[in-house]
Amino acid sequence: MAHEKERLETSARLLRLLSLFQARRYWSGAELSERLEVTPRTLRRDVDRLRSLGYPVNSTTGTAGGYQLGAGATLPPLLLDDEEAVAVAVGLRTAASGTVAGIEEASLRTLSKLQQVLPARLRRRVSALQSFIVPLVHSGPMVDAEMLSVIASACRDCFKLRFGYRSKDGTDSAREVEPHRLVHTGWRWYLAAWDVDREDWRTFRVDRMLPKVSVSSRFTARTPPDGDFAAYVKRSVSFAPDPRRAVILLHASIDVAGPEVPAWAGTLKPVDDRTCVLHTEAHSLDSLSVYLALIGFDFEVREPPELIERVRLLAQRFGRASRRNIGSSGKK
Amino acid sequence: MAHEKERLETSARLLRLLSLFQARRYWSGAELSERLEVTPRTLRRDVDRLRSLGYPVNSTTGTAGGYQLGAGATLPPLLLDDEEAVAVAVGLRTAASGTVAGIEEASLRTLSKLQQVLPARLRRRVSALQSFIVPLVHSGPMVDAEMLSVIASACRDCFKLRFGYRSKDGTDSAREVEPHRLVHTGWRWYLAAWDVDREDWRTFRVDRMLPKVSVSSRFTARTPPDGDFAAYVKRSVSFAPDPRRAVILLHASIDVAGPEVPAWAGTLKPVDDRTCVLHTEAHSLDSLSVYLALIGFDFEVREPPELIERVRLLAQRFGRASRRNIGSSGKK
DNA sequence: GCCATTGCGGACAGTTTCGGTCCTCAATGC
DNA sequence: GCATTGAGGACCGAAACTGTCCGCAATGGC
C-alpha cells in the first residue's frame, strides 16, 4: 500500500544524504540517521559509501561532533530545490548573454543541460523572470537567447539545423547544416557547422540567422577542421572589425579615479596630477556611453570618433531635456 | 590493485548514468550499456531504477531507438564538469548581486551551497573571474559579495556572527547575533537576526555592517518573529524610502518607442501621437541615468527631482566633453 | 509486408550486498 | 574522569543485484 517501500533504498538514501549535506553544512550522526530512518551504523556505512565515491565527508568525534561534506576533487551532484534551480537557470542566462566575459559558452552549455531536465512549472517561472533580465548593455544586434539555446542543444545532440541566412551583402539563402560548436568571440556568437549543401565547413554569425531555426534529423559528428573549432572560427572571422577600443581622458587624479573605475572597465594610467587616461574595450557604443554616464567626473573622449559623436548627441539630448524641464515643469 | 572494483557499483552507476544523460540527450541502449560496462539487461534495470526515483526516462523502440532523460516533477541531481560548475557559480554571483530582480536570495542560498563543495581549484577560477563581474549598475552603496556569502552560510549553518554596526545616526557598536535570514528588499540587503545582547530580534542593513564579520559558535534556530522573516523585515524597514519611481516623457510615438523600450524598464503609456510616458522603478539614480543614456530619442524627466538634477549634471558634463573635443583634438 | 533493429520485461540462479545488532575503541569537551 | 559521539569489526538473515535466456512489441527501411 502506501507503506510500500520501493526498495531503492540504498541509492535513494545516498542521494538524500547528499541533499541533506547540501542543505546544511553540519549534521550530527543522530540527526542524519533519524532523517534517513536507518540505524546509526548504517549511516556510517552510507558516509563511507559517499567517501568511496570521491565525496569527502569530514567528521569530528566527541560531544558536538558530527559530519560535514567538504570540497573534494570533484563536484558532487547538486541537488537543488525549485527556487535554487530557477536561480541557477536565470544566473546562467545572464552569464550566457555576455554580462560576464569569457564564460558565455560554458554557461550556454550548462543552460541547455539544465533546460532538458527542468520541470515544466520551473521552466515557466524562468521564462517569466527572464523577461526582466537586464540585457543592460544590449550589445549591438542582440542575439535571441532562445535561438542560442536551440542551437546549443542541437550541437550537443547532433541534430541538423535548417535556417535562413542573410549574408554580408544582404542576400538571403536557405541553409542546412550540421552544427558543431557555438563560439563567442568578442561580442558576437558564431556557429561552426558543416554546410550540407556546400559540403564544407562554414561559420555563421548567429545574429544573421533568420528566425525560425528548425531542427531536423540527426547526424554523426565530424572531426573539427584542423583540430579546433575555436581556432577555426577565429581564423574565419579574423577580418572582423576590432572591438571598439576607446581612449578616454579623465579629469581626475589616478588616486581619485582608481577606486571609482571598476577593474573590468579597462586599464587606467596616470597622465599628470590631475588627469589620467583610460584605455578600454567595449562591445558597442551603447556600452561605452553607459560607462560615460556613470563616470563621476569630467572626461574627454579621444577615440573613437563615433564615440565623440555619440557624446555630442547625448550632450544635446540631455541639454534639451533639462532645458525643457526648466521651462515646462518649472520646478527647481 | 588498480583493478579493484569498489563494489559501489549500483549507486555509482546510477550517478554515471545520470551524468551521461546530462552530457548528451539521446543514447542508444547499446552505447549506454557499453559505457557502464554492464549487460543491456542491467541497463534496462538501471533505467527503471531512475524512473522509480522520479526521473522520467523516455525511450523509443525500433531502429534508431534509444533513451532520453526528460523533464520530470523534480529536478534530477546535476552533475557538472569543471567548466559548468564555474559557469554556474559566476552566474549565481551576478544574479545575487542584484542584476536580476527577485531571485537574489535564492541565488545567494544556492551560491553558498555550491561554495561548500566547490573544489579548491575551481574556487580559484571563480574568484579570478568574479573580478570581471560587471556590477554595471552599482546600485548605491554596493554590498560586498563576499560578506553576503559569509552571512548566508552562517544563516544556513547556524553560526553566530560578531560584527561592528553603524547605526542610522552614525554611531558604531559591536554586535553578536544569531543570524536567521537574509532578505533583499528593494535594493538593499537586510539581515534578520536575534541580537544576543539585547535579547530581541533585530534587522541589520548589510551595507551598514562593518568588515570584518567574524563567525563564532553555533546556536539553535529560533522560531521567526510572528511566523515570517520576510514579513518581519518588511515591517521593520517599512519606513525606508520608496524605490525611486521615475516618470519620463518620451518624445516618440508609442509605436516607435514600444519596441525600443525593454520590458523590464517599466510601463509605457501613450500620451498623444508624438509622445508617450514611461513609469519606471529603479534601484538608484545611476541605473536610471544609464537608462536615459540608452534611450534613442528625446525625453523629458518629470520625476524625481534628483533625476532632473542628474540630467542637468550629465548635460553639462557631456557638453564640456564635446566642446573640449572640438577644441583640442579638432578631429572632425 | 517482411525483417532487422531496438527496447521490454518475466523467470531463474548464484553471488553480493545490505542493514540491524552487538561489541570494543578512540577522540573530544565539560 | 565521564558522557557523548564517531569508527569500525564480526555476524547473520534477508534482500537486492547481475547475467543469462527467453518471447514480445514497436519502429523504420527495403
Tens-place pLDDT, residues B39-62: 999 999 999 999 999 999 999 988
Sheet with B57-60: strands ordered across = B26-27, B66-69, B57-60
Report the distance separating Cα A28 and Cα A31, nearest Å: 5
Residue range B153-176: mean pLDDT, rounded: 86
Instruction: Summarize the confidence of residues A259-274 as an average pLDDT.
Output: 69
Q: Is B230 on the interface with A (CB under 8 A)?
A: no
Tell whether A318 is within 8 A of chain B (Cβ): yes
Question: Between residues A231 and A325, which one has the greater pLDDT?
Answer: A231
**pLDDT value, residue A119:** 94
Residue in chain A closest to B104 (alpha carbons) equals A87
Selection from A64, A57, A60 nearest residue A17 by Cα: A57
For residue B247, count CB atoms less than 10 angstroms from its CB and return exposed for 0-12, middle for 13-18, buried for 19 or more.
middle
Q: Is strand D in 7 Å reach of the CB of A44? A: yes
Please give the grid coordinates belonging to residue B312.
542637468
Specify whether the CB–CB gap between B325 and B317 falls below 8 A.
Answer: no
Band (A280; pLDDT cuts 50, 70, 90): confident
* Grid cell locating B325: 573635443
Instruction: Please tell me the least confidently modeled range out of A196-200, A210-214, B110-114, B287-291.
Output: B287-291
Q: Please report which confidence band the pLDDT of residue A326 belongs to, taking 50, 70 and 90 as the band edges.
A: low
Structure-block grid coordinates of residue A200: 564544407
Query: Using CA atoms, how far apart are residues B311 and B81, in angstroms rounded to an integer?
Result: 47
Mean of pLDDT values over B260-272: 67
Report pLDDT for A4. 41
Which A positions 179-198 lie with beta carbon below 8 A of chain B? Answer: none
Let me know: does A161 contact A215? Beta carbons within 8 Å: yes
The pLDDT value recorded for residue B332 is 38
Distances B82 to A92, A109, A236 between C-alpha atoms, Å: 15, 12, 29
pLDDT at B331: 42
Say whether pLDDT at B168 is over 90.
no
Whether B326 shows a pLDDT value over 90: the answer reads no
What is the average per-residue pLDDT within A240-263? 69
Give the three cell numbers for residue B271: 500620451
Interface test with B, best of A139, A322, A332 (most B CBs within 10 A): A322
Lowest mean pLDDT among A65-69, A133-137, B220-224: A133-137
Per-residue pLDDT, B4: 43
Q: Are B92 and B148 in contact (CB under 8 A)?
A: no
CB spacing of B134 vs A262 below 8 angstroms: yes
Q: Is a pLDDT exceeding 50 seen at residue B319?
A: yes
| DSSP label at residue B178 | E
Does the structure show a pLDDT above 60 at A6? Answer: no
Residue B78 or A257, more confident = B78
Q: What is the pLDDT of residue B238?
A: 60
Q: How confident is the model at residue B75 (pLDDT cuts 50, 70, 90)?
A: very high
Instruction: Inform me whether the pLDDT recorded for A64 exceeds 70.
Output: yes
First to last CA, chain B: 76
B7 conformational bin, left if phi > 0, alpha if psi -120 to 50, beta if neither: left
- What burial class does residue B310 get, using C-beta atoms within 10 Å of its C-beta: 0-12 exposed, 13-18 middle, 19+ buried? buried
Mean pLDDT of A75-81: 94
Question: For A115-168, what is each residue's pLDDT tens digit?
Answer: 889 999 998 888 777 655 544 444 444 567 778 888 888 888 888 888 999 887
Q: Which of A78-87, A156-165, A215-224, B236-245 has the lowest mean pLDDT?
A: B236-245
The pLDDT value given to residue A330:
42
Rounded to the nearest angstrom, the minimum Cα separation between B11 and chain A is 5
Residue A150: strand, helix, or coil: helix
The number of angstroms, rounded, from the C-alpha of A210 to the middle of its chain's C-alpha atoms is 23
Confidence of residue B63 (pLDDT cuts 50, 70, 90): confident
Contacts of A116 in chain B (CB under 8 A): 22, 25, 69-71
% of chain A residues with pLDDT over 90: 19
| A124/B contact by beta carbon, under 8 A | no
**Strand D lies under 7 A from the Cβ of residue B39:** yes
Residue-averaged pLDDT of chain A: 79
Chain B residue numbers with beta carbons less than 8 Å from the beta carbon of A153 are 25
A181 to chain B, closest Cα gap in Å: 14
Q: What is the structure's pLDDT at A135?
A: 45
Residue in B73, B90, B300 nearest the CB of A324: B300
For chain B positions 25-84, those within 8 Å of chain A (CB to CB) are: 25-26, 49, 52-53, 55, 64, 69-80, 82-84
Angstrom distance (rounded) from CA A29 to CA A27? 6
Q: Is B226 left (phi over 0), alpha (psi -120 to 50) or beta?
A: left
pLDDT(B176) > 60: yes
Residue keyed to cell 552603496: B141
Distance CA B282, CA B289 (A): 10
Query: Peptide bond preceding A179: is omega within 30 degrees of 0, i.e. cis?
Result: no
Q: Does A331 touch chain B (CB under 8 A)?
A: yes
The pLDDT value recorded for residue A242 is 55
Q: How far from the centroid of its chain's Cα atoms is residue B287's Cα? A: 17
Question: How high is the mean pLDDT of chain B?
Answer: 79
Q: Which positions of chain D lie under 7 Å from any protein Cβ? A: 3-10, 15-22, 25-29
More confident residue, B244 or A40: A40
Q: How far is the CA of B16 from the C1' of C9 (A)?
A: 23
Between A56 and A105, where is the model more confident?
Answer: A56
Amino acid letter, residue B44: R
Cα–Cα distance, A311 to B317 (Å, whole number):
10
Pure H helices in B40-171: 40-52, 82-94, 104-117, 120-130, 145-157
Q: How many CA within 13 A on the CB side of residue A164?
A: 7
